[in-house]
Structure 1
Amino acid sequence: MSFATALVLAFSLSMDSFAAALGTGAVLRRPGAWEALRVGIMFGGVQLAMPMLGFALGLTFAAYVEAVDHWIAFLLLLGIGGKMLWESFSDDADEDGEASCGRQGLAQLFLTAVATSIDAAAVGVTLAVMDVDIVGICVLIGLVTFGLASGGVLMGRAAGPLFGKRAELIGGLGLIAIGAKILIEHTLM
């Protein structure tokens, strides 16, 4: 996987965390650097770990799916990206996210980070059937998520209501594009 593709993947997977961080910043009176770092570290760490977990699960089953791995990758990314697109047009998802994203304890913050990282685990499963540097990709995903989530908290107060849904839309389109690229590369080349 090229660096550019890995970077698009990292940004796409980070969009749920970014949207949640925008919501966190939107409901806090004055989010400071500590709150931004706290959210960024939690979201980035979980986003780093989830694709590795999915990758480990995918390796277990890789021998059984090698002939159709490109279709599996495409369908999983299409499903995850489609879900993100659907949620970006949903009226109630943003309201629920904002209502529950105020100053959270560590346990609540961890659960929010896991909830926004489920798609990263599914992507990790698809990466197991590809020849990739999983550690490098996971570190990139974690760093991008850390940056976007930290920045999202700080931007959230002013920009959360404006960009929250668009972030999910962009992330969903990015995942679908990566899935289509994988399918095209394996079937036409």
Structure 2
Amino acid sequence: IMDKGAAFYKDFGMGRSRGTIPIQIAGNVKHGGLFETAFGLTLGEIVDEIGGGTASGRPVKAVQVGGPLGAYFPRTLFDTPFDYEEFAKRDGLIGHAGITVFDDTADMLKQARFAMEFCAVESCGKCTPCRIGSTRGVEVLDKVAAGIEAEKNLALVTDLCNTMKFGSLCALGGFTPYPVMSSITHFPEDFKPAPARVAAE
């Protein structure tokens, strides 16, 4: 910007997301690290071309964008441009642009539970939706994992997420629903009762 001016820098990017952004790629990926690129590359280009796919050599199952409270995107959404508005349209967020890659051995029910547990541990306790919602979220997801009234308890998790998203005082409780709901939405097979999951595998 100092060398060539704001207009030159603004030419990078797309839509309202102008310039460049530093992206941190981690997890099960060949080429992890910090990269700077213009807004507008697709998620698939970032994961497959810059990141080089998984370190394990197995297929990519999910990519979490935006840190531990970012949404999980399946390969079917890899055409999403890295742009704040485009991610928002698909119920995701760029956040601090952290990208974590998971291969096809990842259990998305466990990842959803981790998000609720993370929120419960990190909650300051000031507001009820975050403090109580996340604790109950862990308990209910444990029931789903145990095959206890899975359909009913998944509906309860969805209700909890809506309460947390719109009722929490800060982004911790407000963003926890992103990884939870994206896991349920995009990877429903991982939330089936245990016997059905074993049979499917």
Short-chain TM bin? under 0.3
TM-score (norm 2): 0.24
* Structure (1 or 2) with the greater strand fraction: 2
Q: Kindly name which structure, 1 or 2, has the bigger radius of gyration based on alpha carbons.
A: 2
TM-score (norm 1): 0.25
Which structure has the higher relative contact order (CA within 8 Å, separation 6+)? 1
